[in-house]
Amino acid sequence: MTADLETPDPYSPPVATPVPVEDDFRIRERFLRKEALLRAVGISYLITGSVSAFRVLNIAREAAGRDPGLWQVVILLSVFTGVYLFCGYGLLFLRSAARLLALLLSGVFILLDFFFTLQFLPLLQSPAALKSILLTGVDMVVPAIGLWLLISRAGRFLFSAEYRAIVEATPQLSVWRTPAMIAGLLIVLATQAAAWI
């Protein structure tokens, strides 16, 4: 008799995938905006790393025939490119291994931009200096958002195993269609466009 209870009934309806707990939905909805902005920062880092990779290839092509001293620049830019691509991928897919490196990269980038801005403050009468200061300020927007998100308590939670399980349990909630993601992507595109001006 017990053997009949343990054997699955071949005529029973298929078992559906478990419905996520309501708490998972509420938690994911509460952190969805910050997740979207963090992923947008990751996209920005991927774009910066990709542009840097093309620059490295161009410099390497020039260094191959002319100046052997350019190989040092190629190596330095290759490391820079690798760090940006690693951080961008890690932030885009919420990998905890990239969090600390992205935190360090954002902080260093903001400090370098700040000191660059201080360098041009005495030259404010020049339109070129004013343009450089404005572009530096625009360049600091994405790393500042990234630094704010990575330092915050919510940012630490976004990289936790618990949140990763919540994301897997709630595939119905898409981060790509949120207003925060659209705003984050517009900010990324604006800063990237300003860098090319």
Tokens linked to 3 = 């053997």
pLDDT digits (tens, 9 = 90+) for 35-89: 998 998 899 889 888 888 888 888 777 777 676 677 777 888 888 889 989 999 9
pTM of structure: 0.75
Give rounded-to-5 percent helix, strand, coil for the chain: 80, 0, 20
- What is the rounded average pLDDT for all residues in the chain? 80
pLDDT of residue 137: 60
Distance of alpha carbon 118 from alpha carbon 120, whole angstroms: 5
Instruction: Give the residue with greater pLDDT, 141 vs 28.
Output: 28
pLDDT digits (tens, 9 = 90+) for 76-104: 888 888 998 999 999 999 998 899 999 99
Residue 113: is its pLDDT beyond 80?
A: no
Q: In terms of C-beta density within 10 A (0-12 exposed, 13-18 middle, 19 or more buried), how is residue 89 classed?
A: middle
Q: Give, as one character, the DSSP assignment of residue 170.
A: -
194 CB-near residues (< 8 Å, 6+ apart): 135, 138, 139
pLDDT of residue 172: 86
Listed range (15-29, 71-85, 151-165) with the worst mean pLDDT = 15-29
Residue 159: is its pLDDT beyond 90?
A: yes
Distance of alpha carbon 43 from alpha carbon 29, whole angstroms: 21
